[in-house]
Structure 1
């Protein structure tokens, strides 16, 4: 093998798979590399094995591989052969992706370095999903590796809020590699939702009518069968209230942190307290409260408090009553731009970052990253020498 062969192999191997977010060389997707010198110059012959037949990222990988090979000084052309991994190769890949974990074993246990934050509310309509989607994007924009689980199975909305929909408003289906599912990515956030698995050919493709056991199984599969890779933060957009999903998440993730969302009005704040109390019963830690749809300042300088005031502070006081201080972490003002951004699938933190609501959510992301997560009592994946 010549130095030119080595240079092409290094360049092609460094290309990142857009779904797995790892280099092709690390994934054993580079089958062969050779360089032929002829009268028309040096041509690189590159063989790549995709993970599955019909890989949705095939065109992107092919284009990136061609560009990488052509970018090597001395290469005048590229002949690319695309194949597919054998079952044995796929099995080896999925085992490597699991990092030694057994199949269907959850990677987000108490010893995981991933920070798990469940975003909850007492009732619907308080903007919890919009906050979750924008918070995820704001965290990713600050360099964190972020995943989102849309645990609001009956009222899923994360795909639309992140812009993960096609022209018909339908979210993409995750790519499957054997028993692993690869979550679609938008704004550097990996997301999974039940909306990605519903049939497209029914009169009501978005309808889910499931009871407790099915909901429990769905959350379990999202936590065990979806390959998020190494995450800094995993956000869960919880359904409103304290029902089946809240109980299941408490069982699967008793070490999770909880962010309680409310609006300023007492009708929402009184109920929001209950979601925090139920989370505590499972051992989860309530890290703070976010007041959404707070007073907004109009162009003429007047203040519109459409939903009243004080609800967020009231929830924080109520949850702090047992001696464990729960701060009011953010107050997000009512914002027509936030609503419009959600409808357009462009999170406001990237679409209109100067909007007061976007600024409040971005500040919340910075605060959460600055606070970090305590490591006391947790085993770390290394030992002293």
Structure 2
């Protein structure tokens, strides 16, 4: 549940109030539009239904980025492919980027349709143990625009979490849009009873990206969402011939490494640029499977192992607490 910001007006009604964003005290508040956006304000009865539905999902990981175009969906797809490479694990990706669903294209599922069954919507499968759900599967064409206000977005996210037949899952990866708005608030609130392992935050080295990522980190702190760590994408370019590294996007303020040191956050890894990442995304293929020897693939594997270790420790801690 989102908390009232520290800079809220003295008589702020609170983000869970029916008057949130609409009372006289809200005038001039920088958070007014977020509070009035249509995200659920009172405890939604669907939260309990979602908690029961998600009881069969061991680990829930959110992939966040304050800035668009930093490789968040690409990371979500590679994370899913890597986790599913262990044939004993059941993995799913939930794409809640309602207005810009790119996961179907990246996962090679463009043009697929969702089917209804007696137990709910059936996700689309990449492999026997890798499922995907996205609003992109509900559109008539990949070029169709989704022009929805907050309440309709929130209703769609609720339906994805409550009505999709996810089955028994080891990992559910939630790919989110850039920013800290409706979709993020809805996912955190709806999963509040089900438990979220944490968030992986994606950035690039430039300060213009890090500025927005700091806002994303602040969002996580406000809603008490654990941060698994930060991944820096496009961190230099390794020449495939001479193996020298060039900084295409120079980290003028120290990049993610400096930011993580300042904020006491884990830096999971720095993924170098590789043109083959984009090519495999366009072709709907797994970059890790297609180019396993790439320096970027090696870094990805280290990052993903850290995430698996975090989830295992988190699961063990919860089991001991019970």
Q: TM-score, normalised by structure 2?
A: 0.76
Q: Is the 8 A contact 1:289 1:330 kept in 2?
A: yes
CA drift of 1:114 comes to 1.6
Task: State the alpha-carbon separation in 2 of the partners of residues 210 and 318 from structure 1.
Answer: 38
Structure 1, unaligned runs of 5 or more: 1-101, 321-325
* 1:139 matched to 2:83: yes
Q: Offset at 1:215?
A: 0.9
1:262, 1:289 within 8 Å by CA — same for their partners in 2? yes
Task: Give distance in 1, aligned partners of 2:149 and 2:179.
Answer: 15
Structure 2 counterpart of 1:303? 245
Aligned-pair CA distance for 1:368:
1.5
Contact 2:56 2:167 in 1 (8 A): no
| Partners of 2:63 and 2:76 within 8 A in 1 | yes
| Structural mapping, 1:124-163, within 5 Å | 124-143=68-87, 144-163=89-108
* 1:214 and 2:152 matched: yes
Question: How many angstroms apart in 1 are the aligned matches of 2:224 and 2:53?
Answer: 13
Contact 1:289 1:329 in 2 (8 A): yes
CA distance change for structure 1 residues 197 and 113 in 2, over 3 Å: closer, same or farther?
A: closer
Deviations 1:166-200 (A, max 9, x none): xxxx2x11221136011011143210000101124
**Secondary structure in 1 matching 2:105:** helix
SS in 2 for 1:333: coil
Distance 1:246 1:195, change over 3 A: same
Rounded Cα–Cα distance in structure 2 between residues aligned with 1:364 and 1:263? 15
**After superposition, where does 1:1-385 map in structure 2 within 5 Å?**
105-107=49-51, 114-143=58-87, 144-165=89-110, 170=111, 172-178=112-118, 180-187=120-127, 188-200=129-141, 205-254=143-192, 255-256=195-196, 257-298=198-239, 299-309=241-251, 310-320=254-264, 326-371=265-310, 372-375=312-315, 378=318
Aligned length: 267
Shift of 1:314: 3.0
CA contact (8 A) 1:108 1:114 kept: no
Q: Distance in 1 between matches of 2:102 and 2:115?
A: 20
Deviation of residue 280 (structure 1)?
2.3
The CA deviation at 1:333 is 0.6
Q: Cα distance 1:212–1:198, how it changes in 2: closer, same or farther (>3 A)?
A: same
How far has the Cα of 1:301 moved from its partner? 3.4
Would you say the 8 A contact 2:82–2:288 is kept in 1?
yes
**Which structure: greater helix fraction?**
2
Which of 1 and 2 has greater Rg? Answer: 1
Deviation at 1:282, TM superposition (A): 1.5
Mapped contact 1:119–1:261 kept (Cα < 8 A)? yes
Distance 1:121 1:336, change over 3 A: same
SS of equivalent residue, structure 1 residue 234: strand
- How much has 1:109 moved relative to structure 2? 7.5
SS of the residue aligned with 1:260?
Answer: strand
Counterpart-to-counterpart distance in 2, 1:120 and 1:367:
17
Given that 2:93 and 2:131 are in contact with CA atoms closer than 8 Å, whether structure 1 keeps it comes out as yes
Structure 1 residue runs of 4+, over 4 Å off? 107-113, 375-380
SS at match of 1:294: coil
Q: What is the SS of the residue equivalent to 1:126?
A: coil
